[in-house]
């Protein structure tokens, strides 16, 4: 059985004080969320330890937004998977399109990050998705297939079982334009089929989240699709009410 997940990627938003308030509001509203839905929040690095204190003992899980591609040492400005796990994270987002686009993250770097995240007991939330030009050229399936193959196909089945996938079409992120449920389902089914070719039946148990302008008004239709197991939410995860409403949309 695959997990239902609603994860909030706070990106580079909120102060520590505001982030703690947001986490507190989410914990307070947990009673409204179906028990089988796993909520995850991914605040900035600076917030992880204080937010971990706020959510301690609750059913909300903590995620980082990234981790270093090196284990430790002279890598100024980087934060390792071991450090992230040490403050209570159980997940880390990897390969977000903003990291790929603005910080030159490549599949090679992501292979290293994936290995370190898994070694340190973190479940990676691995993001894939095409740019608008790639979709318009009809090349989106090839782009996504390469993103999956290059970073995940070297994993063992045991490692793959810990990975969550997020499909985030770049043209839908922060734009207010959501993929239609047909477009999203088509790609989610393709992702599952691609994973099945390598990992067999395990693909049925992999959670695949949709991300890209997912909000309370469209979450229900998206989550009703057979291969969409939840959402990776940006903007709407910064308001506790919206985040909780999305989690109520199954
Ligand atoms: P938005 O929900 O703001 O479009 O962001 C999606 C996203 O990038 C989540 O990782």
pLDDT tens per residue across span 119-150: 999 999 999 999 999 999 999 999 999 999 99
Give residue limits of the domains in the chain.
Answer: 4-248
Written out in words, the top-level CATH class of the domain with range 4-248 is alpha beta
The single residue listed with the structure tokens 């989550």 is 223
Mean pLDDT in residue range 45-51: 98
Query: In the chain, how many H helices and how many E strands?
Result: 11, 8
User: Is 173 close to ligand 1, i.e. is its CB under 6 Å away?
Assistant: yes
Q: What are phi and psi of 106, to 5 degrees?
A: -115, 170
Gap from CA of 98 to ligand 1 centroid (Å): 10
- Calculate the alpha carbon distances from 103 to 38, 99, 236 in Å: 30, 5, 24
Residue of 98, 105, 130, 168 marked catalytic = 168
pTM of the full structure: 0.98
Give pLDDT, residue 1: 79
């Amino acid at each position: 059985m695959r997990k239902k997940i609603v994860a909030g990627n706070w990106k580079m938003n909120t102060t520590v004080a505001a982030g703690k308030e947001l986490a507190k509001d989410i914990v307070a509203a947990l009673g409204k969320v179906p028990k089988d839905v796993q909520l995850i929040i991914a605040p900035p690095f600076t917030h992880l330890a204080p937010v971990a204190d706020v959510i301690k003992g609750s059913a909300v899980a903590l995620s980082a937004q990234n981790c270093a591609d090196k284990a430790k040492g002279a890598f100024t400005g980087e934060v390792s998977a071991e450090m992230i796990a040490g403050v209570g994270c159980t997940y880390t987002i990897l390969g977000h399109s903003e990291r790929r686009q603005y910080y030159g993250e490549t599949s090679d770097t992501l292979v290293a990050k994936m290995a370190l995240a898994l070694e340190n007991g973190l479940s990676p939330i691995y993001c894939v998705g095409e740019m608008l030009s790639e979709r318009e050229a009809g090349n989106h399936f090839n782009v996504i297939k390469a993103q999956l193959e290059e970073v995940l196909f070297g994993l063992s089945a045991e490692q793959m079982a810990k990975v969550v996938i997020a499909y985030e079409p770049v043209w839908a992120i922060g734009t207010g334009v959501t993929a239609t449920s047909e477009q999203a389902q088509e790609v989610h089914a393709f992702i599952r089929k691609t994973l099945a070719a390598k990992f067999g039946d395990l693909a049925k148990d992999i959670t695949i989240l949709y991300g890209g302008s997912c909000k309370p008004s469209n979450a229900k239709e998206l989550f009703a699709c057979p291969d969409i197991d939840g959402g990776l939410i940006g903007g709407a995860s910064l308001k506790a009410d919206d985040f909780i409403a999305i989690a109520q949309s199954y």
